[in-house]
Structure 1
Protein backbone atom coordinates (compact mmCIF):
# COMPACT_ATOMS: atom_id res chain seq x y z
CA UNK A 1 0.00 0.00 0.00
CA UNK A 2 1.22 3.48 -0.77
CA UNK A 3 0.91 6.53 1.43
CA UNK A 4 -0.57 8.60 -1.41
CA UNK A 5 -4.29 9.27 -1.43
CA UNK A 6 -6.42 7.82 -4.22
CA UNK A 7 -6.86 10.12 -7.21
CA UNK A 8 -10.11 12.07 -7.29
CA UNK A 9 -12.91 10.68 -9.44
CA UNK A 10 -13.13 12.11 -12.95
CA UNK A 11 -15.50 15.05 -13.39
CA UNK A 12 -19.00 14.22 -14.64
CA UNK A 13 -19.16 13.86 -18.41
CA UNK A 14 -15.47 13.00 -18.76
CA UNK A 15 -14.06 9.68 -19.82
CA UNK A 16 -14.00 7.59 -16.67
CA UNK A 17 -12.37 4.18 -16.35
CA UNK A 18 -15.28 2.42 -18.10
CA UNK A 19 -16.14 5.06 -20.65
CA UNK A 20 -14.51 5.41 -24.01
CA UNK A 21 -12.22 8.34 -24.59
CA UNK A 22 -13.00 10.76 -27.41
CA UNK A 23 -11.69 9.74 -30.82
CA UNK A 24 -8.38 11.38 -31.59
CA UNK A 25 -7.34 12.71 -34.95
CA UNK A 26 -3.82 11.99 -36.31
CA UNK A 27 -2.59 15.37 -35.04
CA UNK A 28 -3.56 14.48 -31.45
CA UNK A 29 -6.71 16.59 -31.14
CA UNK A 30 -10.11 15.18 -30.37
CA UNK A 31 -12.13 14.88 -33.56
CA UNK A 32 -15.48 16.64 -33.37
CA UNK A 33 -18.46 14.33 -33.64
CA UNK A 34 -19.84 14.11 -37.14
CA UNK A 35 -23.11 15.92 -37.50
CA UNK A 36 -25.89 13.59 -38.56
CA UNK A 37 -27.63 15.16 -41.52
CA UNK A 38 -31.35 14.84 -41.89
CA UNK A 39 -32.40 13.22 -45.14
CA UNK A 40 -33.75 15.65 -47.75
CA UNK A 41 -37.44 15.49 -48.63
CA UNK A 42 -37.02 13.14 -51.62
CA UNK A 43 -35.11 10.58 -49.53
CA UNK A 44 -37.53 10.99 -46.63
CA UNK A 45 -40.50 10.37 -48.96
CA UNK A 46 -38.72 7.42 -50.60
CA UNK A 47 -38.15 5.88 -47.16
CA UNK A 48 -41.84 6.25 -46.29
CA UNK A 49 -42.77 4.66 -49.61
CA UNK A 50 -40.38 1.78 -48.87
CA UNK A 51 -42.28 1.09 -45.67
CA UNK A 52 -45.47 1.19 -47.75
CA UNK A 53 -43.81 -1.33 -50.08
CA UNK A 54 -43.16 -3.60 -47.09
CA UNK A 55 -46.83 -3.36 -46.15
CA UNK A 56 -47.88 -4.07 -49.74
CA UNK A 57 -45.64 -7.14 -49.79
CA UNK A 58 -47.28 -8.35 -46.60
CA UNK A 59 -50.71 -7.79 -48.18
CA UNK A 60 -49.53 -9.81 -51.18
CA UNK A 61 -48.79 -12.77 -48.89
CA UNK A 62 -52.23 -12.58 -47.30
CA UNK A 63 -54.06 -12.19 -50.64
CA UNK A 64 -52.12 -15.12 -52.09
CA UNK A 65 -53.07 -17.33 -49.18
CA UNK A 66 -56.71 -16.20 -49.28
CA UNK A 67 -57.02 -16.77 -53.04
CA UNK A 68 -56.93 -20.53 -52.60
CA UNK A 69 -59.63 -21.49 -55.10
CA UNK A 70 -58.44 -19.11 -57.84
CA UNK A 71 -54.86 -20.31 -57.46
CA UNK A 72 -55.87 -23.97 -57.44
CA UNK A 73 -57.93 -23.38 -60.59
CA UNK A 74 -54.94 -21.68 -62.23
CA UNK A 75 -52.67 -24.58 -61.24
CA UNK A 76 -55.21 -27.09 -62.56
CA UNK A 77 -55.38 -25.24 -65.89
CA UNK A 78 -51.58 -25.15 -66.17
CA UNK A 79 -51.12 -28.83 -65.31
CA UNK A 80 -53.88 -29.94 -67.67
CA UNK A 81 -56.63 -32.53 -67.43
CA UNK A 82 -54.21 -35.40 -66.88
CA UNK A 83 -53.07 -34.01 -63.50
CA UNK A 84 -54.08 -35.94 -60.42
CA UNK A 85 -55.49 -34.30 -57.33
CA UNK A 86 -52.28 -35.19 -55.52
CA UNK A 87 -50.20 -33.32 -58.14
CA UNK A 88 -52.49 -30.29 -57.91
CA UNK A 89 -52.33 -30.30 -54.11
CA UNK A 90 -48.55 -30.66 -54.22
CA UNK A 91 -48.19 -27.75 -56.66
CA UNK A 92 -50.52 -25.64 -54.51
CA UNK A 93 -48.53 -26.41 -51.34
CA UNK A 94 -45.32 -25.53 -53.17
CA UNK A 95 -46.88 -22.26 -54.33
CA UNK A 96 -47.85 -21.41 -50.74
CA UNK A 97 -44.36 -22.11 -49.39
CA UNK A 98 -42.76 -20.05 -52.17
CA UNK A 99 -45.24 -17.21 -51.63
CA UNK A 100 -44.61 -17.03 -47.91
CA UNK A 101 -40.82 -17.37 -48.27
CA UNK A 102 -40.55 -14.77 -51.05
CA UNK A 103 -43.02 -12.48 -49.30
CA UNK A 104 -41.15 -12.48 -46.00
CA UNK A 105 -37.87 -11.82 -47.81
CA UNK A 106 -39.53 -8.94 -49.70
CA UNK A 107 -40.84 -7.39 -46.47
CA UNK A 108 -37.41 -7.67 -44.82
CA UNK A 109 -35.65 -6.17 -47.87
CA UNK A 110 -38.09 -3.25 -48.04
CA UNK A 111 -37.51 -2.47 -44.35
CA UNK A 112 -33.73 -2.84 -44.59
CA UNK A 113 -33.57 -0.65 -47.69
CA UNK A 114 -35.72 1.97 -45.97
CA UNK A 115 -33.49 2.05 -42.92
CA UNK A 116 -30.15 2.12 -44.72
CA UNK A 117 -31.27 4.63 -47.36
CA UNK A 118 -32.53 6.87 -44.56
CA UNK A 119 -29.00 6.76 -43.13
CA UNK A 120 -27.60 7.77 -46.54
CA UNK A 121 -25.71 4.56 -47.24
CA UNK A 122 -24.62 4.71 -50.87
CA UNK A 123 -24.57 0.93 -51.22
CA UNK A 124 -28.22 0.81 -50.11
CA UNK A 125 -29.27 3.12 -52.94
CA UNK A 126 -27.47 0.85 -55.41
CA UNK A 127 -29.03 -2.30 -53.93
CA UNK A 128 -32.46 -0.63 -54.02
CA UNK A 129 -31.90 0.13 -57.69
CA UNK A 130 -30.98 -3.48 -58.44
CA UNK A 131 -34.02 -4.73 -56.51
CA UNK A 132 -36.21 -2.29 -58.43
CA UNK A 133 -34.88 -3.73 -61.69
CA UNK A 134 -35.60 -7.26 -60.47
CA UNK A 135 -39.12 -6.14 -59.58
CA UNK A 136 -39.68 -4.89 -63.14
CA UNK A 137 -38.35 -8.16 -64.59
CA UNK A 138 -40.61 -10.11 -62.23
CA UNK A 139 -43.62 -8.15 -63.46
CA UNK A 140 -42.67 -8.85 -67.08
CA UNK A 141 -42.39 -12.56 -66.28
CA UNK A 142 -45.81 -12.50 -64.60
CA UNK A 143 -47.29 -10.86 -67.70
CA UNK A 144 -45.79 -13.55 -69.94
CA UNK A 145 -46.57 -16.55 -67.73
CA UNK A 146 -49.79 -15.16 -66.32
CA UNK A 147 -51.14 -14.99 -62.80
CA UNK A 148 -54.46 -14.33 -61.13
CA UNK A 149 -55.61 -10.72 -61.65
CA UNK A 150 -55.49 -9.56 -58.03
CA UNK A 151 -51.86 -10.67 -57.66
CA UNK A 152 -51.00 -8.98 -60.95
CA UNK A 153 -52.54 -5.73 -59.70
CA UNK A 154 -50.44 -5.91 -56.53
CA UNK A 155 -47.32 -6.59 -58.57
CA UNK A 156 -48.04 -3.60 -60.82
CA UNK A 157 -48.44 -1.43 -57.71
CA UNK A 158 -45.14 -2.70 -56.31
CA UNK A 159 -43.33 -1.87 -59.55
CA UNK A 160 -44.93 1.59 -59.74
CA UNK A 161 -43.88 2.20 -56.16
CA UNK A 162 -40.34 1.02 -56.91
CA UNK A 163 -40.06 3.35 -59.91
CA UNK A 164 -41.21 6.37 -57.88
CA UNK A 165 -38.80 5.46 -55.07
CA UNK A 166 -35.87 5.16 -57.48
CA UNK A 167 -36.64 8.50 -59.08
CA UNK A 168 -36.66 10.07 -55.60
CA UNK A 169 -33.42 8.35 -54.55
CA UNK A 170 -31.55 9.50 -57.65
CA UNK A 171 -32.60 13.17 -57.58
CA UNK A 172 -29.77 15.69 -57.36
CA UNK A 173 -30.77 16.63 -53.80
CA UNK A 174 -30.68 12.97 -52.78
CA UNK A 175 -27.32 12.40 -54.43
CA UNK A 176 -25.86 15.31 -52.46
CA UNK A 177 -27.16 13.71 -49.25
CA UNK A 178 -25.59 10.32 -50.06
CA UNK A 179 -22.33 12.03 -50.95
CA UNK A 180 -22.29 13.99 -47.69
CA UNK A 181 -23.11 10.89 -45.64
CA UNK A 182 -20.33 8.87 -47.26
CA UNK A 183 -17.71 11.62 -47.05
CA UNK A 184 -14.67 10.69 -44.96
CA UNK A 185 -14.90 11.74 -41.34
CA UNK A 186 -12.68 14.59 -40.30
Structure 2
Protein backbone atom coordinates (compact mmCIF):
# COMPACT_ATOMS: atom_id res chain seq x y z
CA UNK A 1 0.00 0.00 0.00
CA UNK A 2 1.35 3.41 -1.01
CA UNK A 3 1.28 5.92 1.87
CA UNK A 4 2.53 8.82 -0.25
CA UNK A 5 -0.18 11.30 -1.18
CA UNK A 6 -0.52 11.93 -4.89
CA UNK A 7 1.45 14.92 -6.09
CA UNK A 8 -0.10 17.44 -8.39
CA UNK A 9 1.90 19.24 -11.02
CA UNK A 10 -0.27 21.05 -13.49
CA UNK A 11 0.84 20.64 -17.06
CA UNK A 12 1.75 23.82 -18.87
CA UNK A 13 -1.34 25.32 -20.33
CA UNK A 14 -3.77 28.18 -19.95
CA UNK A 15 -4.62 27.20 -16.35
CA UNK A 16 -0.98 27.39 -15.21
CA UNK A 17 -0.40 30.75 -16.87
CA UNK A 18 2.13 29.25 -19.24
CA UNK A 19 1.36 28.28 -22.84
CA UNK A 20 1.62 24.57 -23.64
CA UNK A 21 5.08 23.40 -24.65
CA UNK A 22 6.92 26.34 -23.15
CA UNK A 23 8.79 24.78 -20.24
CA UNK A 24 11.62 27.05 -19.15
CA UNK A 25 15.11 25.73 -20.00
CA UNK A 26 17.08 24.50 -17.02
CA UNK A 27 20.33 26.29 -16.22
CA UNK A 28 23.37 24.06 -16.54
CA UNK A 29 25.65 23.61 -13.54
CA UNK A 30 28.18 25.84 -15.26
CA UNK A 31 25.83 28.84 -14.91
CA UNK A 32 25.52 28.11 -11.18
CA UNK A 33 29.30 28.17 -10.96
CA UNK A 34 29.39 31.49 -12.81
CA UNK A 35 26.91 32.98 -10.33
CA UNK A 36 28.94 31.69 -7.38
CA UNK A 37 32.12 33.17 -8.85
CA UNK A 38 30.37 36.54 -9.16
CA UNK A 39 29.17 36.34 -5.56
CA UNK A 40 32.72 35.50 -4.46
CA UNK A 41 33.92 38.51 -6.46
CA UNK A 42 31.39 40.63 -4.54
CA UNK A 43 32.92 39.44 -1.25
CA UNK A 44 36.39 40.28 -2.57
CA UNK A 45 35.11 43.70 -3.65
CA UNK A 46 34.03 44.25 -0.05
CA UNK A 47 37.54 43.36 1.13
CA UNK A 48 39.12 45.55 -1.56
CA UNK A 49 36.92 48.47 -0.48
CA UNK A 50 38.04 48.08 3.13
CA UNK A 51 41.70 47.95 2.06
CA UNK A 52 41.14 51.02 -0.11
CA UNK A 53 39.65 53.00 2.78
CA UNK A 54 42.52 51.91 5.04
CA UNK A 55 45.02 53.02 2.40
CA UNK A 56 43.32 56.40 2.05
CA UNK A 57 43.51 56.85 5.85
CA UNK A 58 47.25 56.06 5.93
CA UNK A 59 50.03 58.54 6.50
CA UNK A 60 51.60 57.52 3.18
CA UNK A 61 48.48 58.49 1.25
CA UNK A 62 48.30 61.79 3.14
CA UNK A 63 51.92 62.50 2.16
CA UNK A 64 51.12 61.62 -1.46
CA UNK A 65 48.17 64.05 -1.50
CA UNK A 66 50.36 66.73 0.12
CA UNK A 67 53.00 66.25 -2.61
CA UNK A 68 50.40 66.45 -5.38
CA UNK A 69 48.91 69.65 -3.94
CA UNK A 70 52.43 71.12 -3.66
CA UNK A 71 53.16 70.38 -7.35
CA UNK A 72 49.95 72.18 -8.28
CA UNK A 73 51.17 75.24 -6.42
CA UNK A 74 47.87 75.78 -4.64
CA UNK A 75 47.95 78.38 -1.89
CA UNK A 76 45.80 78.72 1.14
CA UNK A 77 45.20 76.25 3.91
CA UNK A 78 46.95 73.15 2.56
CA UNK A 79 45.85 70.98 5.50
CA UNK A 80 42.19 71.75 4.69
CA UNK A 81 42.79 70.80 1.05
CA UNK A 82 44.43 67.54 2.14
CA UNK A 83 41.59 66.76 4.56
CA UNK A 84 39.00 67.54 1.89
CA UNK A 85 40.79 65.34 -0.64
CA UNK A 86 40.93 62.46 1.83
CA UNK A 87 37.23 62.78 2.72
CA UNK A 88 36.32 62.90 -0.98
CA UNK A 89 38.50 59.87 -1.76
CA UNK A 90 37.01 57.92 1.17
CA UNK A 91 33.41 58.66 0.18
CA UNK A 92 34.18 57.81 -3.45
CA UNK A 93 35.84 54.50 -2.52
CA UNK A 94 32.92 53.47 -0.31
CA UNK A 95 30.28 54.50 -2.87
CA UNK A 96 32.04 52.69 -5.72
CA UNK A 97 32.51 49.64 -3.51
CA UNK A 98 28.81 49.49 -2.63
CA UNK A 99 27.76 49.98 -6.26
CA UNK A 100 30.18 47.26 -7.39
CA UNK A 101 28.96 44.79 -4.76
CA UNK A 102 25.33 45.42 -5.70
CA UNK A 103 26.15 45.00 -9.40
CA UNK A 104 27.89 41.68 -8.76
CA UNK A 105 24.87 40.40 -6.82
CA UNK A 106 22.36 41.68 -9.38
CA UNK A 107 24.25 40.25 -12.34
CA UNK A 108 24.74 36.89 -10.58
CA UNK A 109 20.99 36.67 -9.97
CA UNK A 110 20.01 37.51 -13.54
CA UNK A 111 22.65 35.25 -15.06
CA UNK A 112 21.03 32.31 -13.29
CA UNK A 113 17.73 33.41 -14.83
CA UNK A 114 19.30 33.38 -18.30
CA UNK A 115 19.07 37.13 -18.92
CA UNK A 116 21.19 37.91 -21.96
CA UNK A 117 21.63 41.53 -20.87
CA UNK A 118 23.23 40.34 -17.59
CA UNK A 119 25.78 38.25 -19.49
CA UNK A 120 26.57 41.22 -21.75
CA UNK A 121 26.90 43.68 -18.85
CA UNK A 122 29.09 41.18 -16.97
CA UNK A 123 31.37 40.94 -20.01
CA UNK A 124 31.64 44.71 -20.33
CA UNK A 125 32.34 45.11 -16.62
CA UNK A 126 34.95 42.33 -16.72
CA UNK A 127 36.79 44.16 -19.49
CA UNK A 128 36.49 47.48 -17.66
CA UNK A 129 37.73 45.91 -14.42
CA UNK A 130 41.07 45.19 -16.07
CA UNK A 131 41.84 48.89 -15.43
CA UNK A 132 41.84 48.12 -11.70
CA UNK A 133 44.96 46.03 -12.23
CA UNK A 134 46.87 49.18 -13.20
CA UNK A 135 46.21 51.02 -9.93
CA UNK A 136 46.87 48.32 -7.36
CA UNK A 137 47.97 49.12 -3.85
CA UNK A 138 49.13 46.21 -1.73
CA UNK A 139 47.95 44.33 0.29
CA UNK A 140 44.45 45.20 -0.96
CA UNK A 141 45.64 44.61 -4.50
CA UNK A 142 45.56 40.86 -3.91
CA UNK A 143 41.80 41.00 -3.31
CA UNK A 144 41.42 43.13 -6.44
CA UNK A 145 43.41 40.72 -8.61
CA UNK A 146 41.34 37.77 -7.36
CA UNK A 147 38.11 39.72 -7.83
CA UNK A 148 38.94 40.59 -11.44
CA UNK A 149 39.98 36.99 -12.20
CA UNK A 150 36.77 35.58 -10.70
CA UNK A 151 34.66 38.02 -12.71
CA UNK A 152 36.45 37.12 -15.94
CA UNK A 153 36.13 33.38 -15.22
CA UNK A 154 32.39 33.81 -14.58
CA UNK A 155 31.92 35.64 -17.88
CA UNK A 156 33.88 32.98 -19.77
CA UNK A 157 31.60 30.30 -18.30
CA UNK A 158 28.59 32.22 -19.61
CA UNK A 159 29.96 32.43 -23.15
CA UNK A 160 31.16 28.84 -23.64
CA UNK A 161 28.94 25.79 -24.01
CA UNK A 162 26.70 24.75 -22.34
CA UNK A 163 26.32 28.26 -20.88
CA UNK A 164 26.00 29.93 -24.29
CA UNK A 165 23.37 27.35 -25.29
CA UNK A 166 21.39 28.07 -22.13
CA UNK A 167 21.24 31.80 -22.85
CA UNK A 168 20.14 31.16 -26.44
CA UNK A 169 17.44 28.72 -25.27
CA UNK A 170 16.21 31.21 -22.67
CA UNK A 171 15.98 33.93 -25.29
CA UNK A 172 13.93 31.64 -27.55
CA UNK A 173 11.79 30.61 -24.57
CA UNK A 174 11.01 34.23 -23.70
CA UNK A 175 10.08 34.99 -27.30
CA UNK A 176 7.74 31.97 -27.32
CA UNK A 177 6.06 33.20 -24.17
CA UNK A 178 5.48 36.54 -25.87
CA UNK A 179 4.13 34.70 -28.92
CA UNK A 180 6.81 36.08 -31.25
CA UNK A 181 8.14 32.73 -32.51
CA UNK A 182 7.05 29.16 -32.99
Please give the TM-score of this superposition, normalised by the length of structure 1: 0.73
Separation in 2, partners of 1:108, 1:150? 23
Asked if 1:39 corresponds to 2:27, the answer is yes
* Higher helix fraction (1 or 2): 2
Task: Provide TM-score, normalisation by structure 2.
Answer: 0.75
Q: Which runs of 5+ in 1 are unaligned?
A: 1-12, 14-20, 25-29
2:128 to 114, 130, 134: 134
Partners of 2:115 and 2:167 within 8 A in 1 = yes
CA contact (8 A) 2:38 2:154 kept: yes
* Match runs of 1:1-186 below 5 Å: 22=15, 31-32=19-20, 34-67=22-55, 68-69=57-58, 70-80=60-70, 84-140=78-134, 142=135, 147-183=136-172, 184-185=175-176
- C-alpha separation in 2, matches of 1:33 and 1:57: 42
Q: Alpha-carbon deviations, 1:69-89, whole Å to 9, x = none? A: 143233234334767211111
Any unmatched runs of 5+ in structure 2? 1-7, 9-13, 178-182
Between 1:57-66 and 1:105-114, the stretch displaced more is 57-66
Q: Considering only CA atoms, is the larger Rg found in Structure 1 or Structure 2?
A: 1
